Amino acid sequence: MATAITVNLSIIIFFMAQKKVSIYTTPTCSYCKQAKDYFKEKGIDFEEIDVATDAAKAQEMIEKSGQMGVPVLDIGGRIIVGFDKAAIDEELGL
């Protein structure tokens, strides 16, 4: 029985590691900082995309989310607008 649990946990960890996490942010956004700090605290690797300096990425963010505000999180293709711990935890299986 313990072997099955270990294998299942390994599978879960594998799929968690496979989800790409991106955060569309700006330098002055306090909720962006909270989200980045949360990812760091949980040991989640993420790509930070500064939409204040990259107009093409800002447009990409708007197209993905329908929003102009930050943060916008892209977790394995699921878009989360704002710093929503419950949605983040659910998507990452935390």
What pTM, to 2 d.p., does this model score?
A: 0.79
**Would you say residue 43 lies in a domain?**
yes
Q: How many whole angstroms separate alpha carbon 64 and alpha carbon 37? A: 23
CATH number at residue 58: 3.40.30.10
**pLDDT in the model for residue 42:** 87
**Would you say residue 5 lies in a domain?**
no
**Would you say residue 82 lies in a domain?**
yes
**Would you say residue 84 lies in a domain?**
yes
Domain count, the chain: 1
Q: How many whole angstroms separate alpha carbon 12 and alpha carbon 80? A: 21
For residue 32, the enclosing domain spans 19-92
Over range 26-37, report the average pLDDT: 96
Q: pLDDT (tens digit, 9 = 90+) per residue, 50-71?
A: 999 999 999 999 999 999 999 9
**Would you say residue 7 lies in a domain?**
no
Q: With contact defined as beta carbons under 8 Å apart, do 74 and 20 qualify?
A: yes
